Homo-oligomer: A and B are copies of this chain.
Amino acid sequence: MVDPRLSDTRPVTALARRGLMFILSSPSGAGKTTIARKLLQSDPGVALSVSATTRAIRPGEVDGRDYHFVDKPTFDRMADDHEFLEWAHVFGHSYGTPKAQIWAGLKAGTDFLFDIDWQGTQQLSQRAREDVVPVFILPPSIDELRRRLMARGTDDMKVIEARMDRARAEISHWSDYDYVVVNDDIDRCFEKVRRILDAERMRRERQTGLVNFVRQLTGEGSPT
């Protein structure tokens, strides 16, 4: 008699999985924005979260695509009601990540990319440690960082020094991160960041479909 399990020839399909929150932080000038853009372009499984903001909509922006544009009382009410995973005031405006869309996306297997600083990372980590993969990108040298900051259109040494101070302050939080990548070459750095994302997707607890998969594999609970 043929073992009934021998007839199981279903192809392996992608297992159900829970998404993750992939955080990239770095001082400005370390290449984070380029790497974030490359990740989004090359991987359809990665999405940006749409933030809520109190700043005015600009020409070309679409409400709900670029940002959720809300007024100050609405933003404050959302913050009070703990509807944000993280939020911050930047240059007189408020920005926040609404929880609801992230929870729904994670459950559906979407990975979210966050381009945020150490304070945002701390907030996210406090609220959802298991879902968060925090990566810090370091410039290869202080010299190279200064060169990159100087290339941003000013030679005013006071402006440069202020940027350097902000960069040093951000770098001082490097040890809050699970992964650290030195950006000595943008392509190599991108490849390393990709590998971190790919590996974290294979963590057992994120592959929610494994429980059923293993049950079928071992014939547990099925007639033998």
Contact = CB atoms under 8 A, between A and B. Distances in A.
Contacts of A172: 218
Nearest to A211: B175
A210 B195 CA distance: 20
Interface residues of A, number: 48
Interface string A171-188: 110110111111010000
Q: Which 5 A-B pairs have the closest CB atoms?
A: A199-B199, A12-B184, A12-B140, A196-B199, A195-B198
Given A5-B142, A12-B182, A141-B216, 17 more contacts: A8-B142, A9-B143, A11-B184, A12-B141, A142-B217, A142-B218, A142-B219, A171-B217, A174-B214, A175-B204, A177-B204, A179-B202, A179-B204, A180-B207, A181-B202, A182-B213, A198-B199
Interface of A: 3, 5-12, 15, 136, 138-143, 145-146, 168, 171-172, 174-175, 177-182, 184, 192, 195-196, 198-200, 202-204, 207, 210, 213-214, 216-219
